[in-house]
Amino acid sequence: MEVRVITEARLRDGTPTLILPLTPQDREAVRAGFEELSPESRERRFLASVPHLTEVMLDHLVDDVDGIDHVALALVVIGDDHTGVPAGVARMIRYADNPTAADVAVTVHDRWHGRGVATALLAELLRQRPVGVTRIITTVATDNAASLKMLRRLGPTHEEAAGARIDVAVDLPDELPPAAGSGT
């Protein structure tokens, strides 16, 4: 039986959440969550128009998560009725040809934008990142100010514009941020 490490966290406004590893049992929740995203959020996530997740994409986003080279976490908001509402997913995938570097991606449901979901997810993702990963290398749209700001908060960055996209490299700190539930 697989053990899921669950971390308690609070959003900026004090909303209680749980952060837990994504597992194959979450496949349909990932599909449903993607369908709820606005077209703009879908495009920002994949840097292309993606109307629906294909089975191959779901295989990669869910089934390929191994907790070693591909770490994926989901943040669930705890409602007043004590049920969980999915609010976002973050993942880090080690590059096979560069084992000290990884790509990172964060998807936050539209109604949770600007409330600290990505911040909480990334703090926990850094703690659970693949062993030996010291650098993030990723690409974001030039007009995605929120993602650029989020990446710059992770550590020293190097950015190179490439048309409508920016290639970003982030040197990750050795010292990890405080635990998500610490309130800092």
Structure tokens at 56: 């191959």
Q: Does domain 7-182 have CATH number 3.40.630.30?
A: yes
Interval 148-184: pLDDT, tens: 998 999 999 999 998 888 999 999 988 665 554 444 3
Averaged pLDDT, 105-133: 92
Residue predicted with more confidence, 54 or 127? 127
| 18 sits in which H/E element | strand 16-21
Interval 9-21: pLDDT, tens: 999 999 999 999 9
Strand arrangement, sheet containing 135-141: 7-10, 16-21, 70-78, 84-95, 98-108, 135-141, 165-171, 157-162
Domain extent listing, the chain: 7-182
Would you state the pLDDT for residue 4?
A: 61
